[in-house]
Chains A and B, each alone.
Chain A
Amino acid sequence: MASQGKVSRALFPVVVVALSGVVLILLPLLATGWISFMVGVPGYGTYTLANYLQVLLDPFGYRVLLNTLLFALGSTAMALVLAAPLAWSVARTDLPYRAAVGFLLGMVLVIPGFLQGMGWALMLSPNIGILNRALIELFGLEEAPVNIYSLSGMTFAQGLSLVPPAFFILSPVFLGMDSSFEEAAFLSGASKLRTFLRVNLPLAAPALVAAAIYVFVLSFALFEVPAVLGFPDRIFVFSTMLYFFVHIQQGTLPEYGLAAAYGSVVMIVSVLMATYYAKLVKQSRRFVTITGKGRRGKTLSLGKWRSLAFSVVSVYFILALVLPMLVLVYYSFLPFFKLPSLDAVSSFTFKNYVNVYTRQGARPLINTGILITLVPMAVVLVAMPISWLVVRSRLRGRFVIDNIAFLPLAVPRIVLSVSLLYIALISRNLIPRVLRRITAPLLKPALFGAWFWIMLLSFREVTMAVMLSSADSIVFPAQIWVLWNRALPHDAAAAAVMLAGIALILMLVTRRLIQRLSTPGGF
C-alpha cells in the first residue's frame, strides 16, 4: 500500500497520472533552463554562460530585484491584512451580506490586472487623475497628493487585486476550524477581537504562511499592474524587465536567453520557498484543529463591530471593484479620453461595443468558452492525483512532486509561454495523447470548486493567451490586450466591461450549481 511507501496495483493509475502531470509541468520549466544557456535563436543559437554573467553583473538587475522584493512584500502584506479578517468574518461571524463576499471577490479576480491598472491610472494619475483633480480642487492643493505611477502606487493596486487568492486559501481554514477553542476563550472572558488575535490567527498560522508564500510568489511574477503603473516611470520589476527584453528589442532578436536566465533565478528562489511551504504543510498536520474533524461552531455575533466591519469590507470593494469598473464603463462609452463633464457625457457612444464584435466576430468568445471548459478539466484531472499523493499517501518523494507542482506559479508567464512554444514545436501530439487516455471517475463538489477557481483564472489569463494564441485560437482577454496594444483603449474598455458581464453570468450559474452540490462555505 501507499502508506507503506509502496505502490499497489490499485494506486498505479493515480501515480501514473500524477507523474504525467509532473512531467507536463517540468517540460516548460526545463526548457526555460535550457534557453537560459543560449544566445541567438532560441533552441538553435550558441551555448553560453553570458546570460547568467549579465544577471550577476548588471546593476540594473539588482535594482529590479529590490523593486520586485518591495513590490511583492508590500502587495502580499496588504493582501493578507485584508484577506485574513475578511475570510474569518465570512467564515465565522454574522457579517452582513457575507454570502456575497466570495462572489464579489470572484469578480475582482476575473478583471485582468492591466484593466485594474488602467482604472487606477485614470483615477490617480498626477496630471489627469479624476480623484487627484477632485482632491486638488477640494483642498486648493498645488499639486496632486497621490502619484499612482510609483512603487507604492502599484503595490497598492496590486495588493487590492491579490486579496481574492489569499481569501480563497484562508476561507476553508477558518471554516473548518474547531470551534471548541473559541468557545473556551469566550468562557475565559476573552473578547472577540482578542479571540481572533490569540486563538483564530495562531491556529491558522500555517495556512497564513502558506497563503503568504503563494501570494508572494504570485506577485513576484505578476506583469500587468507593474506594466501599466510602473513601466512608464521606469519602475521595473522582474516581469516588466523581461517584457522589455522580449518585446521591445528592434533590429535584433529579443533576448529570450537573458529573460530565461532571470526566470531560472526566480525558479530557484521559488524552489526554496516551495520547500519551506512543503515543510509547513507537513507541520500543519500536527494542528489537528484544521483537519475538519472538529465541531463547526455557531456563527459569532460581531455586535457593535458589525457596522464597522461592514464599512471596511464595503470600502475594500469600492476600491477594488466598483471604482475601477466605473472608470472602465465610463471609458468604454467615450470616443476619446475626456475628464468627466456634461460634454463628456454628451459624447457617449456605443460604437466601441459594436467594434468589439465587428473587429473579430464571435471567434474570441467561442474560444474563451472552449478554454474555460477544457482547461479546468485538464488541471483538475492532473492536480487531483498529485494532491492525493502529497496529502494522503506516504509515497517517498511526494514533497518533491508538491514542490514541482508549485513551480509554474513562480515562473513569469512570458518566459513560460516562450518555453511552451518550443515544446509545442517539438512534440505536437504527445500531450493531447496522454490527456485523452485519462478519465475522471470522481467529479465531486470539492473538485467542482477547484474547477471553478481554475475556470476564473483561465478566463482572465492574458499573458499566456497572447503569446500562444493564433488566428483561430484568439481568446477574449487576449483580444482586449490586442485592442489596447493597437491604440484602441476605448474598444478595449468596452470589451473588458463585456468580459466582466460574462464573468458575472458565469459565476451566478456556477454558484447555483455548487450550491446544489452543497459544499459548505463554497461560493
Chain B
Amino acid sequence: MGNLAWLRWLGVGAVTVAVLWSPTRGLEAGQANPKLADMIKKAAQEGEVVYQGPDPATGLPTDQMLRDMEAITEKYFGVKIRVKVDNALSFPASATKALTEIKAGAPPTFDLMYQTALSGAPLYKEKVIERFPWTEIFPHIKSDDMEYGGLALINQTLFVLPAYNKNVVKAQDVPKTWDQILAPKWKGKLGILIYPDPWLLLSQPTAWGEEKAFNYLKKLMELRPKLGRFPEVHERVVSGETPLAWGQHRERTLSAKEQSGAPVEVAELADPPLLWVNILFVPKGARRPNAAALVAAAMLTNEGQDHQLKFQAASSMFSPGTPAAKFAAQRKVFRPDVNFVVEKGEQLSKKVRSFMVAK
C-alpha cells in the first residue's frame, strides 16, 4: 500500500487541477439566473465557511478534502470560498450547540452543517434551518435531493447491513435475513450500534412497525451484544472480538476492506437494508449563508458526488449514476421518515435506551 501512496497523491492532484481548469458552467448559469448571480456575489464577499462535518472516512487528509470542496465550488460557481472544518463535537452535540446559539440570538458557530437526517431533526423541529429555493437557484438539484421539506440537501445515503469477519465467520453461517441474526449461535459474538436510529426507522409503519421492531430488539439484547458506535463496532469485527456486527455502513465497510485489507465483509441480506441519510444545511442566522449554500450545492454535482465517494466512501442514491443509486435500484430500502421521528422520536429514543441498558 505504502509504495502506491504517491500514485494516490498524484490522482488527488490531477483531480484538483482538472477541476480548476475545466469550464466554469456555474458562471454561465449564474449569468442566466439572477438569484444565483446574487448568491455568488454575496458569497464572494463572505469569502469562507465554517463547516461542521466529519474528517474523511477513507484515510485521506482532511486538508485535501477541504481544498477539493473549494475547488469544486469554484469550478461550478466561479467563486473562491475558503472552507474551514470544525468537527470536534458529536453530531447531536453540534446540533445542540447551534440551536443554543441561535436561541441566544447569536450567530451559530457553523455556517454549513453535516448531520444525519435524525441527528439534525431538532433543528428542523425548532425551525432554525435557513430556507433557500434550492431547485430554483440550482438546476442540478431536484426535489428528491432534499430532506426536511426542502430545507436540507441529501449529500449521501448509506445502507446499513450486517458486517462480519470473514476469517472467523464461515460462509454458511453468514446471515441472510435480519431474523437469522437472532440465532443463539451469535450469543456473545455480536456487536450492535448504540444509536436509536435503526429502531426508530424500523418502528415506522412503512417498515416493521413499533411492536415488531421492539420485540426484535428485545430478542437481540438477550444475545448479550457488545454496544458501540460505528467505529467501535467496526473495529471489534476487524479484530474478531465480535465477529458479526448487526449493522454497519455497507459502503464504508467495503472501503475499509479495500483500503487496509481488513478481513471484513458485508452480509448482503435478502431483506431491505436500512437507509442512513446524511444531509447538508445552513443554520438560521449563519454568518456566511450564501457561501455555505454554494458549497452545499456543489456537493450534489457529479464532481461533488465523486468527492463524497473519494473522501467519505459514500454517495447519494438520488444522484443518478452513483454507486448508491445503482445499489438502491436493485432493492427496497427502509428510509427514515423525518416527520415520524419529529413526532415520536423522543418517546421511542427513551424506549430504545431502556432496552439497551437493561441487564
Contact = CB atoms under 8 A, between A and B. Distances in A.
Question: Is A bound to B?
Answer: yes
Contacts of A252: 121-122, 345-346, 349
Pick the most buried of A128, A252, A350, A358: most chain B CB atoms within 10 A of its CB.
A252
A180 interface: no
Contact of A251 (B97, B118, B228, B358): B118
A127 B189 CA distance: 9
Contact of B55 (A231, A359, A465, A467): A359
A41 B55 contact: no
B92 interface: yes
B132 interface: no
Interface residues of B, number: 76
Contacts of B85: 471
Interface in A295-335: 335
Pick the most buried of A41, A43, A466, A469: most chain B CB atoms within 10 A of its CB.
A41
A411 B241 CA distance: 34
A232 B231 contact: no
A198 to B, nearest CB: 45
A337 B232 CA distance: 12
Given A336-B262, A471-B86, A489-B231, A247 B346 contact: no
A359 B61 contact: yes
A3 to B, nearest CB: 46
Contacts of A466: 88-89
A349 interface: yes
Nearest to A253: B122
A470 interface: yes
A23 B55 CA distance: 38
Interface string B58-69: 010111100000
Contact of A336 (B101, B261, B342): B261
Contacts of B252: 487
A256 B96 contact: yes
B100 A41 contact: yes
A414 to B, nearest CB: 10
B88 A250 contact: no
B96 A487 contact: no
Contacts of B93: 246-247, 254, 467
Contacts of B262: 335-337
Nearest to B343: A251
Contact of A250 (B92, B189, B256): B92
A232 to B, nearest CB: 4
Interface in B73-123: 84-90, 92-93, 95-97, 99-101, 103-104, 106, 109, 116, 118-119, 121-122
Given A250-B196, A250-B345, A482 B356 contact: no
A42 B359 contact: no
B150 interface: no
Interface residues of A, number: 58
B12 to A, nearest CB: 11
A425 B104 contact: yes
Given A351-B5, A358-B63, A487-B234, A335 B260 contact: yes
A249 B100 contact: no
A63 interface: yes
Contact of B100 (A43, A234, A486): A43
B229 A250 contact: no
A236 interface: yes
B239 interface: yes
B230 interface: yes
Contacts, number: 175
Contact of B239 (A43, A251, A337, A421): A337
A156 interface: no
Contacts of A474: 88
B195 interface: yes
Contacts of B39: none
B281 to A, nearest CB: 16
B235 interface: yes
A350 to B, nearest CB: 8
Given A60-B354, A253-B122, A127 B241 contact: yes
Interface string B252-269: 100010001110000000
Nearest to A361: B63
Contacts of B228: 231-232
B118 A470 contact: no
A478 B86 CA distance: 12
Contact of B103 (A44, A349, A426): A44
A349 B345 CA distance: 44
B197 interface: yes
Nearest to A485: B231
A251 B100 contact: no
Contacts of A355: 59, 61
Given A249-B92, A471-B85, A487-B234, A41 B345 contact: no
A358 B61 CA distance: 5
Contacts of B353: 244, 248
Given A244-B353, A249-B92, A486-B55, A421 B194 contact: no
Pick the most buried of B5, B86, B96, B97: most chain A CB atoms within 10 A of its CB.
B96
A76 interface: no
Given A128-B241, A249-B92, A482-B55, A232 B100 contact: no
Interface in A8-31: none
B47 interface: no
20 contacts: A42-B100, A44-B100, A44-B103, A127-B189, A127-B242, A232-B228, A234-B227, A234-B358, A248-B92, A249-B92, A250-B118, A251-B349, A252-B345, A253-B122, A337-B239, A337-B262, A350-B2, A426-B104, A467-B93, A488-B55
Interface of A: 41-44, 60, 63, 125, 127-128, 149, 231-234, 236, 244, 246-254, 256, 335-337, 349-351, 355, 358-361, 421-422, 425-426, 465-467, 469-472, 474, 478, 482-489
Interface of B: 1-2, 5, 50, 54-55, 57, 59, 61-64, 84-90, 92-93, 95-97, 99-101, 103-104, 106, 109, 116, 118-119, 121-122, 126, 189, 194-197, 200, 224, 226-232, 234-236, 238-242, 252, 256, 260-262, 341-342, 345-346, 348-349, 353-354, 356-359
